[in-house]
Each structure stands twice: as structure tokens, then as C-alpha cells.
Amino acid sequence: MRNLLTRKSFNFAFIISVGLLALLPLYVEMTGDDFYLDLANRLMILAIAAVSLNLILGHGGMISFGHAAYLGIGAYSVGIPAYYEIYDGLFQIITAVFVSGVFALLTGAVSLRTKGVYFIMITMAFTQMAFFGIVSIEEYGGDDGLVIDTRSTFGNFFDLEDTVTLYYFVFVSLLISLFIVKRIMESRFGMVISGSKSNERRMQSIGYNTYRYKLVCYVLSGCLCGYAGALLGNFTNFISPEMMDWTASGELIFMVLLGGSGALLGPLWGAASFVLLEEWLSSITTYWHFFFGALLILVVLFARGGIDGLLSKIGLSK
């Protein structure tokens, strides 16, 4: 019985991607061209954010159109302390995760009372409130944002000032995030979340307070995305309300759908495709958004499993 469940096979696409990401700094070291390092860094940070969104959207069936709020909260949790010359990374990250969790708890408690399109709109509305909240605080730059002059430090051990250090910090964070989400989704809690996505009415009937489970899942997702936001603030050295614009939330949804919603590695493929395509298309044409839209339509119509679905079909994933 166990064999059927724990059938293990190598995931070539994942192993190759991780290998490439791990070795990229060496390549950059040799060529001195750190453009790709920045690209991959952004890719991985957005991948963590997409992984967190996938937890509620893909696994839990909660379509949040406001997930960028947590990127903003995370980034400001680095930026505002830095403004007061507090650069302690542990403090900043704990703040990012905690404030994100509280924001998720408060907004989720209200949002999860609604369903379908109402849920989508209300999550977006809360994020817009956070957006305008930040815009209105002149002290922290308001509309113009805030420059982070020094990246996070971790005592005397290390700091993220060096791009390669930051890169590996993000790299390890991504791997740990994927591992955590995998464990969560295979746990009893994860089974309840999957069940609630599939048939909430039956789940209630067999004894689950699905609202509470979904809320916990929503908070976990917010915490992880807040963490990604803290990395993003460090990476960009500059934070602004733009980070939590509703289009940023849309882009995260785009990544999840493109990569394969509900698949563990889907968000990784989605974020990678998004960042690389954006880079490539925008160098060819200013109308690159048009091609993005067309691609999403094609994926939704003809490849419901997204990129991960296509990869498994040709035996490269799962």
C-alpha cells in the first residue's frame, strides 16, 4: 500500500533548474556580467511570492487579488526600520512575517465570509486600502517611495550587502519555501485544505470548520509572501507603494496560472517564465503586455495544468 503512495521519481526539470540557479554566480564571476544575477534574483523572490499565493489560490481555491499587499508590507518592514537606521535582518524579517500575518488574519477573517467574485474583489479592496495608506504617509516618502541605503545585516555573521550573498540567501529561502509548502500540503492540515477546495459542503458535513482552516491557510500564505517582500526590499534597495499596486497582485496570479496552479513547482515555472519573457519581449516591443495576455489565454484554454502540466506530460516534472 505504501509503495503506491510514495512512488518516487526524479523531477528532471526541477533538478536542472536548481543546478542552474546554484551555479549562476560562478558564471557571473567568470564573465563579470551581473545582469543575469539580478534577473535570477528577482525571479526567485517573485517565485517565493508566487509559491505563497499558490498555497491559497492553487491548493486552497481562494483566488486572492490582493497578494501584492504582503510584498509591500514585507518591503516596508525592511525600509521603515532602515529609515531609522535599524538594519538588523532578524528584526526586519520577523516584523515582515508578523505584520503580514496580522494583516492576513484581519482581512482574511472578513474576506473568507464571502465567496467567488466577492472574495476576489474584497481582497483587492483591502490591498488598495494598504496601498493608499502607505501613499498617505509623507514621512516614508508617500508616493515617491523610500531608498534603503543599507541592506539587512545578521549580527556579525553576514549581511546581504554583497549581491552574491543576497542571491544565495534568496536561493536557500526559495528551496525552504518549496519544502515547507510541500510538507504542509501533505500533512493532515493540507489534506483538509485540498478537501475544502474540492467540496467545501461535504467537508463541513464530515466535521470540518472549513472557514477556520482556510483562514489559517490564508495567514500562512500571507506570512510567506511578507517574507518574500522583505527579500524584495533588500534586493531593490528602493521601496514604493507601487509594489502593492493591484497590477502587481495580478502579475502574481498570472505567474501561478501560467506555471500551473495547485502544482508544487508551478509557481517556480510561472515566475521564471514571467521574468524571462518580460525581459525578452520588452526588449523587442513596447507592446509586450499584449503578448503576455495572449499567452495567458492560450494556457488557460489549452493547457489547464500550465507549464507544470506540460512538463509532466513530456516526463520532465513529477
Partner 1 sequence: MRQTILSISNLSKTFGGVVATDDLSLDVEQGELHAIIGPNGAGKTTLIAQLSGEIFPDNGRILFQNKNITMLPPFKRSHLGIARSFQITSLMQGMDVIDNVALATQANDGHAYKFWKPARDDRDLRQSAIDALKEVGLEGREFEKVQNLSHGEHRQLEIAMALATQPHLLLLDEPMAGMGTEEGDKILKILQKLKKRKTILLIEHDMDVVFALADRITVLVYGRAIASGSPQSIKTDERVREAYLGTEGDLNC
Residues of the shown chain interacting with partner 1 in the complex, contacts defined by CB under 8 A = 1-2, 4-5, 183-184, 186-192, 194-195, 198-199, 201-210, 213, 216
Q: Using the minimum distance from each CB to partner 1, give the nearer residue, 136 or 198.
A: 198
Which residue type sits at 119? F
Cβ proximity to partner 1: between 98 and 208 the closer is: 208
Whole-number minimum distance, CB 216 to partner 1, in Å?
7
Q: Which residue has the cell 502593492?
A: 244
Cβ 184 to partner 1, closest distance in Å? Answer: 5
Least distance (Å) from partner 1 to the CB of residue 314? 22
Question: Residue 275 has what DSSP assignment?
Answer: H
Q: Which of 232, 233, 278, 224 is nearest to 255 (CA)?
A: 278
Least Å distance between CB 175 and partner 1? 17
Nearer to partner 1 by Cβ, of 121 and 175: the residue is: 175
Q: Which of 304, 294, 230, 292 is nearest to 266 (CA)?
A: 304
Nearer to partner 1, 3 or 156 (CB): 3
Taking the complex as a whole, how short is the minimal distance between the CB of residue 182 and partner 1, in angstroms?
Answer: 10
Cell numbers placing 69: 499587499
Q: 3-class SS at 245?
A: coil
Nearer Cβ to partner 1 (158/189):
189
CA-to-CA distance for 227 and 215, rounded, in angstroms?
Answer: 18
Nearer to partner 1, 31 or 187 (CB): 187
Residues paired with 147 in a beta bridge: 238
Closer to partner 1 by Cβ: residue 5 or 314? 5
CA–CA dist 54, 217 (Å, integer): 11
CA-nearest of 24, 18, 71, 67 to 179 is 18
User: In this structure, are residues 52 and 64 in contact, taking their beta carbons and an 8 Å threshold?
Assistant: no
Dmax (CA) of the chain = 62
Query: Least distance to partner 1 from the beta carbon of 63, Å?
Result: 17
If the CB atoms of residues 191 and 298 are measured against partner 1, the closer one turns out to be: 191
Q: Please, what is the minimum distance in Å from the beta carbon of residue 309 to partner 1?
A: 14
CA-CA distance, 122 to 203, in Å (whole number)? 24
- Closest approach, Cβ 113 to partner 1, in A, equals 14
CA neighbor of 163 nearest in space, from 18, 42, 16 = 42
Residue with cell 521603515: 80
Look-up of cell digits 494583516 = 103
Neighbours of 280 (CB within 10 A): 11
